[in-house]
């Protein structure tokens, strides 16, 4: 009799252990999910980026349609260059967008690899529990169930024992079902991982296509510049336009600096305790400039032969060679007073650093700051490009002190 009671107690303990194991697996899975939920990359993040990509493609198609019209052929060369610059800028944004999607996919792959490991661990643990249960059944045999039933002392005791045996058998069935579920979960996690890797490979191919497209568009824009140079009448008009544009930009810079200083003075008077100059996120510089981009000096400050027009003229800054898409940083802390596009400078940014010092960054492919932004020294403000009157990717960098352009080398 004691042996029979022992068998019953062992069966109860085994059933309890199996139930407890299943609960622990569920708790572990929930803990893993909650720990990573705050910083997980989801498919929704990638879908949002893809929506941005579709919008960029739509805008670029509109520009391409404009290029394909007769009206485009009737435009002046300078107007054509502006349209081509817009298309190049959008292609650059597409490349940035695809790079973001690729980065998201890399993060998502790492998360799915972790999910595969967790699923495999759960499957292995479930398999070991199932094997343990099968070994126990082989050792005890089905006779142990019959002994539990036929050793009952009364009819009600037999019914209770039958219910108990049924519970054990259901637990055995559930153990097998849980093993199948765990195996299916592992296979699903592996399939999701492989699909994500395939989608990543597709985006890498898209990136290569867009980069080749960008090079073709740059060649087309540069060919237009060469055409301007060959046309004497157009060259003369452009030369005068560029000269007027440079003078106009400097007048605007001087006016904006005066207005900014006026606002700073009002702010100083209003906040004497803090002694903090600025308006709308204004930041003061250190007075010591850093290089805005790494690269060789391709054209110095001062009198030089213009690379497009061929005449001798005053070069108002220095040109720094760099690859298309390289980061351009603020040479010092300050406030953005201009962030726009014009035919001569292309996309350009002007920052006021205080003490009458301003810096200008021209021919950018894209601008990452807006008027009124406070920027810190070394902060990315745009990317290298060849917009405006430019013969290749580079940064045109100007420094002005109290309204007059100076050699940037003396400030670096």
Looking at 227, 261, 281, the residue that finishes a domain is: 227
Give the residue from 38, 56, 64, 148 showing the smallest Cα distance to 100: 56
The answer to whether residues 129 and 167 belong to one domain is yes
Distance CA 281, CA 32 (A): 41
Whether residue 179 lies inside any domain: the answer is: yes
- Give the pairing type, strands 312-315 and 334-342: unpaired
Domain ranges, residue 9: 2-227
Residues 93 and 138 in one domain: yes
In a domain, 287, yes or no: yes
Residues 6+ apart with CB under 8 A from 143: none
Domain end, chosen from 177, 199, 227, is at 227
Q: Do 282 and 402 sit in the same domain of this protein?
A: yes
Helix (H, G, I), strand (E, B) or coil at 44: helix
Q: Tell whether 385 and 300 lie within a shared domain.
A: yes
State the pLDDT at residue 377: 94
- Which of residues 227, 248, 275 is at a domain's end? 227
Classify residue 234: in a domain, yes or no.
no
315 belongs to a structural domain: yes
Report DSSP letters for 61-123, one per residue: HHHHHHHTSHHHHHS-HHHHHHHHHHHHHHHHHHHHHHHHHHHHHHHHHHHHHHHHHHHHHHH
Please list the pLDDT of the chain residue by residue as tens digits (412 residues): 455 554 455 455 544 555 455 445 444 444 444 444 445 778 888 888 888 888 988 988 888 888 888 788 878 878 888 899 999 889 988 998 999 999 998 988 888 888 888 888 888 887 777 677 666 655 655 445 555 555 656 656 555 655 655 555 566 666 667 777 778 888 888 888 888 889 899 999 999 999 899 889 888 888 888 777 666 555 566 666 777 777 888 888 888 888 887 887 777 666 654 544 444 445 667 878 999 999 999 989 987 665 555 556 678 899 999 999 999 999 999 999 999 998 889 999 999 998 889 999 999 999 999 998 999 999 999 999 999 988 889 999 999 998 889 999 998 8
Q: Are residues 188 and 252 in the same domain?
A: no
CATH label of the domain that carries residue 369: 2.70.70.10
pLDDT score at 312: 60
pLDDT at res. 262: 80
Answer yes or no: do 155 and 245 share one domain. no
My answer on whether 289 and 159 are in the same domain is no
Q: Domain count of the chain?
A: 2
Contact 53, 101 (CB under 8 A): yes
Q: Please tell me the pTM assigned to this model.
A: 0.62
Asked whether residue 203 falls in the same domain as residue 79, the answer is: yes
d(CA 398, CA 263): 24
Residue 186 and residue 277 share a domain: no
Same-domain status, 223 and 244: no
Co-location of 140 and 218 in the same domain:
yes
> Is residue 235 in some structural domain?
no
> Does some domain include residue 387?
yes
Tell me, yes or no, whether 233 lies in a domain. Answer: no
Residues 262 and 395 in one domain: yes
């Amino acid at each position: 009799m004691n042996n029979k009671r022992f068998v019953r107690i062992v069966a109860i303990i085994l059933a309890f252990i199996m139930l407890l194991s299943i609960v622990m697996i569920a708790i572990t899975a929930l803990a893993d999910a909650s720990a990573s939920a705050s910083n997980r990359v989801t498919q929704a993040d990638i879908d949002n980026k893809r929506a941005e990509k579709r919008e960029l493609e739509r805008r670029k198609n509109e520009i391409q349609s404009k290029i394909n019209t007769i009206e485009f052929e009737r435009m002046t060369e300078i107007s054509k260059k502006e349209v081509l610059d817009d298309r190049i800028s959008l292609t650059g944004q597409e490349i940035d967008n695809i790079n973001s999607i690729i980065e998201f996919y890399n993060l998502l792959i790492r998360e799915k690899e972790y999910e595969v490991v967790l699923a495999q661990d759960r499957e292995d643990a479930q398999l070991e529990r199932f094997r343990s249960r099968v070994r126990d059944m082989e050792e005890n045999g089905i006779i142990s169930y019959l002994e539990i039933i036929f050793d009952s002392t009364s009819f009600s005791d037999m019914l209770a024992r039958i219910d108990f045996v049924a519970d054990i058998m259901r637990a055995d069935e559930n153990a097998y079902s849980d093993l199948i579920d765990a195996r299916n979960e592992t296979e699903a996690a592996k399939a999701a991982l492989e699909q994500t890797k395939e989608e990543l490979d597709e985006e890498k191919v898209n990136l290569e296509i867009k980069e080749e497209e960008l090079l073709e568009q740059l060649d087309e824009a540069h060919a237009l510049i060469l055409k301007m140079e060959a046309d004497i009448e157009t060259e003369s008009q452009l030369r005068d336009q560029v000269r007027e544009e440079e003078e106009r930009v400097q007048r605007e810079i001087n006016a904006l600096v005066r207005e900014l200083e006026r606002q700073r003075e009002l702010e100083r008077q209003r906040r004497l305790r803090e002694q903090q100059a600025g308006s709308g996120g204004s930041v003061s510089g250190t007075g010591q400039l850093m290089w805005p981009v790494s690269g060789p000096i391709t054209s110095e400050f001062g009198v030089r032969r213009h690379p497009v027009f061929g005449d001798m003229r005053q070069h108002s800054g220095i040109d720094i060679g760099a690859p298309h898409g390289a980061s351009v940083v603020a040479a010092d802390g300050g406030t953005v007073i201009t962030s726009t596009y014009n035919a001569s400078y292309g996309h350009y940014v002007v920052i006021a650093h205080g003490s009458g010092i301003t810096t200008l960054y021209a021919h950018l492919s894209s601008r990452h700051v807006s008027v009124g932004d406070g920027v810190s020294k070394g902060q990315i403000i745009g990317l290298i490009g060849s917009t405006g009157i430019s013969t290749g990717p580079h940064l045109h960098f100007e420094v002005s002190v109290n309204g007059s352009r100076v050699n940037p080398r003396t400030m670096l």
